[in-house]
Chains A and B, each alone.
Chain A
Amino acid sequence: DGGITQSPKYLFRKEGQNVTLSCEQNLNHDAMYWYRQDPGQGLRLIYYSQIVNDFQKGDIAEGYSVSREKKESFPLTVTSAQKNPTAFYLCASSRGIADTQYFGPGTRLTVL
């Protein structure tokens, strides 16, 4: 089945630790995205990538980093510099940068 997978589903982190969230897609999509969702809010864009080895900052990139070494994979690292990392993180992909985005199931990150 084609789709987008995110792992883990739940993640707990101690303050001061970096953590990496996984996002994989087998849809052969060129573009991938990371969004953050807080309670009572819509989604906000963290980073996006149009193509392998290229990525751009979104609205709230501070405290996050990404890589795009493979077309299928777009991992997100939440660094200790992110002041309030507890949130729900959604990965999405699209055929191209202006095409419909499809979402993975999300990762719930909690900082203890």
Chain B
Amino acid sequence: AQTVTQSQPEMSVQEAETVTLSCTYDTSENNYYLFWYKQPPSRQMILVIRQEAYKQQNATENRFSVNFQKAAKSFSLKISDSQLGDTAMYFCAFMYSGGGADGLTFGKGTHLIIQP
């Protein structure tokens, strides 16, 4: 079974700063996907970014980018030019490429607060 660890329960930064959220995972699989989801106060779970393990290039979506280190089993999320609307819980998630009974395995989340 896979495990996902987010070691930062809460982080707080000033608006416009850059912030990095950490995620490590443990798996014996070689083919998998990694995700970052955002859960704002509305509690809707929103996909932020996705990374395929076979791709060496780090995924980027506008102000959001990842640092994927496969050998170290590390998958951090960098948010540039942070905005008040980025305040939310952020969850790192793992999925085996074959899908199946494990579905998505989630970390416990990091509560990110963007201060004005």
Contact = CB atoms under 8 A, between A and B. Distances in A.
Contacts of B4: 42
A100 B95 CA distance: 9
A41 interface: yes
Contacts of A101: 95, 103-104
Given A102-B47, A105-B44, A42 B103 contact: no
A102 B101 CA distance: 17
A45 B103 contact: yes
Nearest to A105: B44
A22 B97 CA distance: 28
A100 B50 contact: yes
B105 to A, nearest CB: 8
Interface residues of A, number: 29
Nearest to B102: A45
Interface string A45-60: 1001010000011110
A103 B91 CA distance: 13
B78 interface: no
Contacts of B104: 33, 35, 43, 45, 92, 101
Interface of B: 4, 33, 35, 37, 42-47, 50, 91, 93, 95-109
Interface of A: 31, 33, 35, 40-45, 48, 50, 56-59, 88, 90, 92, 96-106
Closest 6 CB pairs of A and B: A42-B106, A97-B99, A98-B99, A103-B45, A45-B103, A43-B106
